[in-house]
Amino acid sequence: MKNKEKLLSLDKISIVYNEDVAESYKVACHTQDILKTRGINSVTNSSKNFAQDVSAVITIGGDGTILRAARFYATKNIPILGINLGRLGFLAQVNTNEIEQAVDKLIQGKYCIENRMMLSSLDDKVLALNDIVIKGDTFSRTAKLFLSINDKVVCDYLADGIIISTPTGSTAYTLSAGGPVISPDLEAMVIVPICPHTLTSRPLVIPAYETVKITSCKTCNKLKLSSDGQDTIDINAEEFITIKKSETTAKLIILEKEDNEFYSILRKKLQWGVAPER
């Protein structure tokens, strides 16, 4: 498919562990031992201190660890493989009992690399693989948010906030807020209001080449913008916040294994379309 490739160097792998996740460092050391027995050079570092001169990355933690690594390594075109220690691990490819098999598949070329669309904002100072979320500066109050697309006014929201998501992020916060699930093979943006105070507010799916602008009113002093739910910035509420498709893509390593395509993962991890047991 057009967004997939198969080009991976194993010259030096960075093993990124999340120090806030129990057992993360222990699993990182175990992974490094496995790589060493295969003759692969690697370094171990925390998710707060990324290594620069590497050819690939293995993250240890949950999806949050992958998202943080993706924002750092996307501009360097370095692919990422996730080992899951979190609850859901929708983006992660490997469980802790599969690490040896996963390393062998990398060596054997049994994988592909998916280029995942990202969002950018604030003159490309902000990158997001999942979503960019805008809320008012007071979490106990709703915010009035004005949405424009391609400089054309679309609607006003009185809501707790607004989510602009990629297809990758459509299975995360966007889904919880009532948005649609979108295949990561598509290039689109999803706009979802958070708890809107009107029954007519519905999610929008728009082409990825369009430009989204959001602003607020004078009664709201500041807006809070967060990237992938991790990095938060305060912004003047009367300034336009522009969000668009980034020229940078995140590179995720997808292993060859049974039931590892998007719809199978959707069914397995989110119990999508699974009838309740009697």
The C-alpha atoms of residue 74 and residue 84 are separated, in whole angstroms, by 20
Catalytic site residue from 11, 53, 63, 151: 63
List, in sequence order, every beta strand (DSSP E) within the chain: 4-5, 12-17, 41-46, 56-61, 80-84, 111-121, 126-128, 131-136, 143-149, 152-159, 161-165, 188-194, 204-207, 212-216, 222-227, 231-236, 241-255
Task: Please tell me the distance from the alpha carbon of residue 21 to that of residue 72, in angstroms, as a whole number.
Answer: 20
Q: Is 26 helix (H, G, I), strand (E, B) or coil?
A: helix
Cβ–Cβ under 8 Å, residues 8 and 66: no
Neighbours of 148 (CB within 10 A): 16
Measured CA to CA, the distance from residue 150 to residue 107 in angstroms comes to 46
DSSP assignment string, 72-131:
HHGGGT--EEEEE-SS--SS--B-GGGHHHHHHHHHHT-EEEEEEEEEEETTTTEEESSE
Residue in the structure block whose two tokens are 């050819």 = 55
Tokens 């003759």 locate to 39
Residue 185 falls in the annotated catalytic set? no
Which residues does the annotation mark as catalytic?
A: 63
